[in-house]
Chain A
Amino acid sequence: MSWWRRLWALIRSRRLDRELDEELGGHIAMRTAANRASGATDDEARRAAERQFGNRTRIKEQTRDRDILPWVESVVQDLRYAARQLRRSPGFAMAAIAAMALGIGANAAVFTLVNAVLLRALPFDQPDRIVSVWMQPPNGARLPFSQEDFEDLRDGSTSFSELVGTLGTSINVADDDSTPERVPGMYASWNLFRLLGVQPVLGRDFREDDDQLGADPVVIISYGLWQSRYGGASDVLGRLVRLNSRQASIVGVMPRRFAFPRNQALWIPRMMLPRDSFLGRRQHNIGVIGRLAPGVELAPARAEVGAVASRLAQEYPDSNRDLAINLLPYQEATTSRQTRLIFLTFLGAVGFVLLVACANVANLLLARSVGRAREIAIRVAQGAGRWRVIRQLLVESVLVASIGGALGLLIAFAGVRWFARASVTVDRPYWEAFTFDPVVFAFVAALCVVTGVVFGLAPALHVSRTDVNSVLKEGGRGGGGVRARRWAGALIVIELVLTLVLLSGAGFMMRSFLGMYQMDLGFEPTNVKVMQLYLPLTKYVLAKPEMVVDIEQRLADRLEAVSGFRASALASSPPTVGTIRGNNSQAPPDTRPVFVDGQEPAPGEQPTFVKTVSAGDEYFDTVGIPILRGRAFERSDGLPGRGAAIVNERFAALHLGGRDPIGHTLVVPGLVEVEDRPETQTVVGAGPLTIVGVVPDVRQGDLDRAEPDPVVYVPMRMDSRPGVIGLLVRAPGAAVSVAARVRQELAILDPDVPVFNAQTMDEVLADERGQYVLFLGMFSVFAGIALFLSAVGLYSVTAYAVKERTQEVGVRMALGAERRQIVWLMLKRGLVQLAIGLPMGIAGALVVGRLLESLLFRTSPRDMVTLVGVTVLLGLVAVLACVRPALRAARLDPTVALRHE
């Protein structure tokens, strides 16, 4: 209670002052009246009264002291004093504030990103209870579930209060009123929104009976789609719309900005997926998320799903053998370890930048404090305690840091906006919005205070120790010269070390990126166009692959005849990309178990899981992959009894012991052999494939791995599935025109098959590499800022030293020193600092390089070229920074210099 009164008193300070005056005055007046009553004159009465009262000012002060929190008022006093001091030295103020703005601004920007990507909770109900569930083959990959497996898990487990199966894919939206469009959508169990805890803002959520076979098809659309396609019309509910040629009615609209999981525009119950298109437990395409039941923790849930996996493996050995089931919290599962590492590295890098900025400002303060020694001495002489002086200096530092921090926020705004725009192509969840929320502001505020104390403490401690007597006597020239110089030197060395580490980091990343760019792709991307086709699931049935094979063959024939198309081929994915099939980012590249030479693995041993690419006959021609040994695919490959495969060199090395693969056989479950005449309707599961060719290593979704992965190519006709398929065409011209031509040909065969996402191969490559460019850019910016700050720091320290030693220079010149010797004298200290700092910096760079190793591509963290390069760069910049003031020293007029104070 008394605490509050004191605080309140601070606010009402003036009024209280007046009241106290009134109270004390009243007392004296009454005493005066009493004295007059005993016979004294007015004057005597008053004077006696005042004497009896005591020292009024002192009494007042003593009383007031108890009214307010004294330290708050004196801090306010300190602030006003600090502001005055700053205004008096604008040069220092600008330099210090600029350094802080850069340092704190960069940190604020990176923290905003880290907050958005790593820290912020997902915008769902109790997000830490949501888990991602997947099937795990022995090689540790994450596979989605099959429909049947999902249903078995759902029905056979109790750990989840909600379990949802999802399939993301692009969906054709058409109705009678507007042009059809293709949007990203998702088939999901009816309880998806219940699991997330998000409700439609219009209409209703799905009901369990929507998600049954034979139910009336319904769809829930996103807010964005509602606005863009239906103009936000209030009667949108109940409207009919054709989704992939199947009619459904709109029953709900989701809230603004909701686009689970990435950028989906509509959601359809899972059972609306054409049921007969998904036979077979080998078809893994259902992503699963669950909400842990109340009271259930991760470990027991994991144990339970593990048990379900074992049961399934026993019941269905053909498809589920060696498939485990695992789960992780959803937020963790959707942030790759690499992303986390990259952002943490950013945080570290930008922290270094801030330290360099702090060292800079500390140096500036040191230089300034030597000049302020007189002022400090006077204050100490007047009775200010040492801690009072230190506190006042710290208030000054925090003020500088805060002003810099406020400016830094502006820099951060700009930086985050730039990053958001530059990373638009990077695949990320819709809820990762790079916005500034209170956490960021709190972080910046804390940073201002902490940095202010950090860079202010050393100079404050140093200056407060000034010997008052000597300073006052000598007319203000503090004798703290030597110690100050040593501090300054140490700070410069620290700056150099940190800058070198940052430069090395940026250098490593640059080399890594160059390595990726220059890497021999293994194919020829020029003139290659990439696009996607969609064979509607309603029309092309999985159980009848011959339908797909038929249209694929006829398309290939037609495209072959187009003049201007040098070659073309369908494929499950183009080179370097993981997979094109489906828009489901959770789906990994087609990875299948492969049995070499018919060998079954021993019990307990793991079968080999290998990436497979299904490719049309002319694939290697189209993409420009040379055949090293053997031959490319032919028309007859893949017909019954003529299963064929082509492997890359890595596969041969890993799984065939380096022997010549030609002639060996592979068994790849899940493929089919389709007769050439679809009318006869013979489809058999594929027998062993004979390896007929060997090709060089081409990356498939593993651009950042050190070694390419083994890949098996199978003829397209053996793996024909409806859904999304890639098409590659080697033809000159724009991607759009090539796509238009393809559309023409395709329209003759089947007008319901759309062609979309046409790009050039170069554009695809650029997308894949896009995020590496981004990260490299950011590191370079940070390293550049640090370099700039270090240069400025060195420059100002040297310039100050020159100013300090002007008299000395004058003396030396008068004694006959040459200009060259003066320059060398001034440079010497800087060079010593370099000599100490650079080796330490290299050591630091090696340590940091080890930490970054997993991010680097084909670059050793001990890469000599990079290290030498950045060391030379820093050395040059540092020397240049020192040279200018040194040269100026040499140009001094000795007569003027001698008289300099």
Chain B
Amino acid sequence: MARQTDALLGTLDLLILRTLASRGSLHGYAIAVVIQQASDEALRVEEGSLYPALHRMEKAGWLRASWRTTETKRRARVYALTPKGRRQLDAAEQQWTRVAAGVAKVLKLV
């Protein structure tokens, strides 16, 4: 599980940004659930590792965070995309497409 997380760390940002772009404001647990479900359980992120990434992206200005009360009367920290984050998402998606295409080509040729 840990190994998978490492490999994913570079793309963790991408996943988080995309999730928030589609789903709006979510707290950390919800983001983890979405990623797991959307990937058909293929990507089971070590859930804790979300948080350093979330805080890092918040400091970088890509996300905005605030405290909300959930339906279960619990306090949770909710994250949302900022315009800057949206631009970062576009850049990261393009990069990911390029890298994936490159990998695919190599796999085919080699």
A residues whose Cβ falls under 8 Å from a Cβ of B: 1-2, 5-6, 19-20, 22-24, 26-27, 29-31, 33-34, 52-56, 58-59, 62-63, 65-67
In the complex, what residue of chain B is closest to A62 when comparing beta carbons?
Answer: B52
Q: Which of B33, B51, B75 contacts A59 (CB 8 A)?
A: B51
State how many angstroms separate the Cβ of A165 from the closest Cβ of chain B: 66
Instruction: Chain A residues near B55: list those with CB within 8 A.
Output: 63, 66-67
* A59-B48 Cα distance, complex, nearest whole Å: 6
A22 engages B75 (CB within 8 Å): yes
A5 engages B48 (CB within 8 Å): no
State how many angstroms separate the Cβ of A20 from the closest Cβ of chain B: 8
Instruction: Chain B residues near A67: list those with CB within 8 A.
Output: 55, 59
The A interface is mostly helix, strand or loop, or mixed, namely helix
Chain B residues 49 to 73 lying within 8 A of chain A, measured CB to CB, are 49, 51-52, 55-56, 59-61, 72
- Total A-B residue pairs with C-beta atoms closer than 8 Å? 62
In the complex, what residue of chain B is closest to A59 when comparing beta carbons?
Answer: B48
Instruction: Chain A residues near B28: list those with CB within 8 A.
Output: 23, 27
Instruction: Chain A residues near B75: list those with CB within 8 A.
Output: 22, 26
State how many angstroms separate the Cβ of A438 from the closest Cβ of chain B: 35
B91 at the interface (CB under 8 A from A): no
Chain B residues 1 to 54 lying within 8 A of chain A, measured CB to CB, are 27-29, 32-33, 46-49, 51-52
- Given A33-B72, A52-B46, 10 additional A-B pairs, CB 8 A: A23-B51, A27-B28, A27-B51, A30-B74, A31-B47, A53-B48, A59-B49, A63-B51, A65-B52, A66-B55
* A58-B49 Cα distance, complex, nearest whole Å: 10
A55 engages B48 (CB within 8 Å): yes
Instruction: Chain B residues near A59: list those with CB within 8 A.
Output: 48-49, 51-52
Instruction: Chain A residues near B60: list those with CB within 8 A.
Output: 2
* A24-B74 Cα distance, complex, nearest whole Å: 12
* Residue from A1, A23, A29, A59 whose CB has the most chain B CB atoms within 10 Å: A23
Instruction: Chain A residues near B46: list those with CB within 8 A.
Output: 52-54
- With A23-B76, A23-B77, A26-B76 known as contacts, the answer to whether A2 contacts B51 (CB < 8 A) is no
- B95-107 interface code vs A (CB 8 A; 1 in, 0 out): 0000000000000
A31 engages B29 (CB within 8 Å): yes
In the complex, what residue of chain A is closest to B59 when comparing beta carbons?
Answer: A2
Instruction: Chain A residues near B59: list those with CB within 8 A.
Output: 2, 5-6, 66-67
State how many angstroms separate the Cβ of B8 from the closest Cβ of chain A: 13
State how many angstroms separate the Cβ of B64 from the closest Cβ of chain A: 12
Instruction: Chain A residues near B72: list those with CB within 8 A.
Output: 33
In the complex, what residue of chain B is closest to A64 when comparing beta carbons?
Answer: B55
In the complex, what residue of chain A is closest to B67 when comparing beta carbons?
Answer: A19
* Residue from B47, B49, B74, B75 whose CB has the most chain A CB atoms within 10 Å: B47
27 examples of A-B residue contacts, CB within 8 angstroms: A6-B59, A23-B76, A24-B48, A24-B51, A26-B27, A26-B29, A26-B77, A30-B29, A30-B74, A31-B29, A33-B72, A52-B46, A52-B47, A54-B46, A54-B47, A54-B49, A59-B48, A59-B49, A59-B51, A59-B52, A62-B51, A63-B51, A65-B52, A66-B55, A66-B56, A66-B59, A67-B59
* A22-B61 Cα distance, complex, nearest whole Å: 22
State how many angstroms separate the Cβ of A510 from the closest Cβ of chain B: 66
In the complex, what residue of chain B is closest to A33 when comparing beta carbons?
Answer: B72
B residues whose Cβ falls under 8 Å from a Cβ of A: 27-29, 32-33, 46-49, 51-52, 55-56, 59-61, 72, 74-77
* Residue from B29, B49, B61 whose CB has the most chain A CB atoms within 10 Å: B29
* A29-B74 Cα distance, complex, nearest whole Å: 10
In the complex, what residue of chain A is closest to B77 when comparing beta carbons?
Answer: A23
In the complex, what residue of chain B is closest to A55 when comparing beta carbons?
Answer: B48
* A49-B27 Cα distance, complex, nearest whole Å: 17
Instruction: Chain B residues near A34: list those with CB within 8 A.
Output: 33
In the complex, what residue of chain B is closest to A58 when comparing beta carbons?
Answer: B48
Instruction: Chain B residues near A53: list those with CB within 8 A.
Output: 46-48
State how many angstroms separate the Cβ of A9 from the closest Cβ of chain B: 9
Q: Which of A27, A55, A56 contacts B29 (CB 8 A)?
A: A27
B76 engages A56 (CB within 8 Å): no
Instruction: Chain A residues near B47: list those with CB within 8 A.
Output: 27, 31, 52-54
Instruction: Chain B residues near A22: list those with CB within 8 A.
Output: 75
* A67-B58 Cα distance, complex, nearest whole Å: 10
State how many angstroms separate the Cβ of B55 from the closest Cβ of chain A: 5
State how many angstroms separate the Cβ of B49 from the closest Cβ of chain A: 6
* A24-B27 Cα distance, complex, nearest whole Å: 11
State how many angstroms separate the Cβ of A751 from the closest Cβ of chain B: 89
* A34-B30 Cα distance, complex, nearest whole Å: 12
A66 engages B76 (CB within 8 Å): no
Q: Which of A1, A29, A30, A54 contacts B48 (CB 8 A)?
A: A54
- With A26-B29, A52-B46 known as contacts, the answer to whether A1 contacts B61 (CB < 8 A) is yes
State how many angstroms separate the Cβ of A57 from the closest Cβ of chain B: 10
* A52-B52 Cα distance, complex, nearest whole Å: 16
State how many angstroms separate the Cβ of A179 from the closest Cβ of chain B: 78
State how many angstroms separate the Cβ of B35 from the closest Cβ of chain A: 13
In the complex, what residue of chain A is closest to B76 when comparing beta carbons?
Answer: A26
Instruction: Chain A residues near B61: list those with CB within 8 A.
Output: 1-2
B48 engages A26 (CB within 8 Å): no
State how many angstroms separate the Cβ of B59 from the closest Cβ of chain A: 5
State how many angstroms separate the Cβ of B73 from the closest Cβ of chain A: 12
* A59-B54 Cα distance, complex, nearest whole Å: 12
Instruction: Chain A residues near B51: list those with CB within 8 A.
Output: 20, 23-24, 27, 59, 62-63
* Residue from A31, A33, A53, A58 whose CB has the most chain B CB atoms within 10 Å: A53
Instruction: Chain B residues near A63: list those with CB within 8 A.
Output: 51-52, 55
State how many angstroms separate the Cβ of B65 from the closest Cβ of chain A: 9
In the complex, what residue of chain A is closest to B50 when comparing beta carbons?
Answer: A27
Instruction: Chain A residues near B52: list those with CB within 8 A.
Output: 59, 62-63, 65-66
Instruction: Chain B residues near A54: list those with CB within 8 A.
Output: 46-49
* Residue from B28, B51, B74, B77 whose CB has the most chain A CB atoms within 10 Å: B51
State how many angstroms separate the Cβ of B83 from the closest Cβ of chain A: 14
* A5-B56 Cα distance, complex, nearest whole Å: 12
* A556-B29 Cα distance, complex, nearest whole Å: 112
Instruction: Chain A residues near B76: list those with CB within 8 A.
Output: 23, 26
The list of the 7 closest CB pairs from A to B, nearest first, reads A54-B48, A59-B48, A62-B52, A54-B46, A30-B29, A53-B48, A27-B29
In the complex, what residue of chain B is closest to A23 when comparing beta carbons?
Answer: B77
Instruction: Chain B residues near A20: list those with CB within 8 A.
Output: 51
* A639-B16 Cα distance, complex, nearest whole Å: 113
State how many angstroms separate the Cβ of A45 from the closest Cβ of chain B: 14
State how many angstroms separate the Cβ of B102 from the closest Cβ of chain A: 30
Instruction: Chain B residues near A52: list those with CB within 8 A.
Output: 46-47
* A33-B52 Cα distance, complex, nearest whole Å: 23
State how many angstroms separate the Cβ of B56 from the closest Cβ of chain A: 5
Instruction: Chain B residues near A23: list those with CB within 8 A.
Output: 28, 51, 76-77
In the complex, what residue of chain B is closest to A34 when comparing beta carbons?
Answer: B33
* A1-B84 Cα distance, complex, nearest whole Å: 13
State how many angstroms separate the Cβ of B99 from the closest Cβ of chain A: 25
Instruction: Chain B residues near A2: list those with CB within 8 A.
Output: 59-61
Instruction: Chain A residues near B27: list those with CB within 8 A.
Output: 26-27
Instruction: Chain B residues near A33: list those with CB within 8 A.
Output: 72
- With A6-B59, A66-B55 known as contacts, the answer to whether A26 contacts B74 (CB < 8 A) is yes
* A576-B77 Cα distance, complex, nearest whole Å: 87
* A22-B51 Cα distance, complex, nearest whole Å: 12
State how many angstroms separate the Cβ of B17 from the closest Cβ of chain A: 17
State how many angstroms separate the Cβ of B103 from the closest Cβ of chain A: 28
* A65-B55 Cα distance, complex, nearest whole Å: 10
* Residue from B48, B55, B77 whose CB has the most chain A CB atoms within 10 Å: B48
Instruction: Chain B residues near A62: list those with CB within 8 A.
Output: 51-52
* Residue from B55, B60, B76 whose CB has the most chain A CB atoms within 10 Å: B55
Instruction: Chain A residues near B33: list those with CB within 8 A.
Output: 34
In the complex, what residue of chain B is closest to A1 when comparing beta carbons?
Answer: B61
In the complex, what residue of chain A is closest to B2 when comparing beta carbons?
Answer: A54
